[in-house]
Structure 1
């Protein structure tokens, strides 16, 4: 059955919301979250302040939409990288490729990466559904660590991740939906996330400037060290 066609009013509303978000992203790129100002956005769109609140009732609501969009785009980039891998790709090469896709996305648009990997503004609390978005990014990493043989160094993390999955039904469902059992794969994915967040976050915020190394080389070394800890081929 064909979908119901949008009314002109609905199309206008959707277009206006998209324009508001586009301007907000430009402000974000220019000056971070402090630069995102609803009054300036309203003026550029051609709306009064009160009229703009019909589209986003607060700056936090606008930031939340930008966060959802960023997570969706990053998840799509990681998923595309996973789909592009040959069937017989080794787990180590898979982990490298997925981490590389995360870094490539972040370096191309650091303002969006920093928006989702930190606290946009003091006191901001992301809605619960953004947790599912974050898990969508990490889902392909679960498969990379499925069947790994963790070393003694990471077994404490494996034990804690196993207990987490046993007591949190949502986490257990997430792991199963990704085709992985909990525990080892979950520990690998979470540790990969922490390694990536550290290396990529430092790079895109300019902390590596003048240090003479390439961020991709550093991230690959970290992923290889993690692969060694999990006995990945």
Structure 2
């Protein structure tokens, strides 16, 4: 027997309006970028007054924060689901690319140029840490370290500066692999989604796959 809905009609209506506001926000971001996001412009599109909209979001920054939370949560869930289905690091890379291509504006809100004057709250960092934890699990599964063997210089540096990895126990080699994966895969994705490969007459998917294969080959050498 299904559980009765614990929310009230008023709460459901509020959630519905917030969802509609976010949909208009994404449309605005797609047209003019996140820095031009305006609650008053969204209110006009919805046919309500600006003050009415401020009952649902206190201001532009709160709305941006909600969009960022949604974006990070979506990616975290995508990668966690892929990992649960047996995806290794290569599989996670392709899951990342599929997620990015699905909505480039969402991707750039998270990983593009920061919005001027906006500072994300700590809880968005906590969600993004879930993404890195999934990647670190996959990287740790691919790396082995012989007891007593000194870590490579940059891996040793990461071991001493591992706050970005949270509480994950990944060894230095896994930290290095995760950081290399993150920078190389996002580098290709950012250029592809920004259109920098347009007219170069090659398939970006092949470049992404080649960079991934090269990275994994170096790790296994």
Indicate whether the TM-score tops 0.5. yes
Matched, 1:98 2:103: no
Moved more, 154-163 or 198-207: 154-163
TM-score, length basis structure 1: 0.82
> What is the RMSD of the two structures over their aligned residues, measured on CA atoms?
2.4
Contact kept in structure 1, 2:158 and 2:175, CA below 8 Å: yes
Aligned to 2:148: none
Contact kept in structure 2, 1:17 and 1:55, CA below 8 Å: yes
Aligned residues between the structures:
214
What is the CA distance between 1:111 and its match in structure 2? 0.5
What SS class does the counterpart of residue 47 from structure 1 fall into? coil
Q: Any runs of at least 4 consecutive aligned residues in structure 1 with deviations exceeding 6 A, and if so which?
A: none
Question: Which whole-Å CA distance do the structure 2 matches of 1:217 and 1:135 have between them?
Answer: 29
Aligned to 1:48: 49
Contact kept in structure 1, 2:65 and 2:120, CA below 8 Å: yes
Question: Which whole-Å CA distance do the structure 1 matches of 2:8 and 2:144 have between them?
Answer: 56
For CA contacts below 8 A with separation 6 or more, give which structure has more relative contact order: 1
What SS class does the counterpart of residue 230 from structure 1 fall into? helix
Contact kept in structure 2, 1:141 and 1:189, CA below 8 Å: yes
Question: Which whole-Å CA distance do the structure 1 matches of 2:79 and 2:176 have between them?
Answer: 19
Any idea what the Cα deviations from partners look like across 1:76-112, whole Å, max 9, x if unmatched? Answer: 22222222337xxxxxxx2221111111111121000
Matched, 1:131 2:111: no
Aligned to 1:186: 175
What is the CA distance between 1:182 and its match in structure 2? 3.6
Contact kept in structure 2, 1:149 and 1:230, CA below 8 Å: no
What is the CA distance between 1:149 and its match in structure 2? 4.8
Contact kept in structure 1, 2:22 and 2:63, CA below 8 Å: yes
Aligned to 1:18: 19
Which of 174, 197, 202 is the aligned partner of 1:213? 202
What SS class does the counterpart of residue 56 from structure 2 fall into? coil
Question: Which whole-Å CA distance do the structure 2 matches of 1:126 and 1:57 have between them?
Answer: 15
- Structure 2: which 5+ runs fail to align? 146-150
Question: Which whole-Å CA distance do the structure 2 matches of 1:172 and 1:122 have between them?
Answer: 27
TM-score, length basis structure 2: 0.86
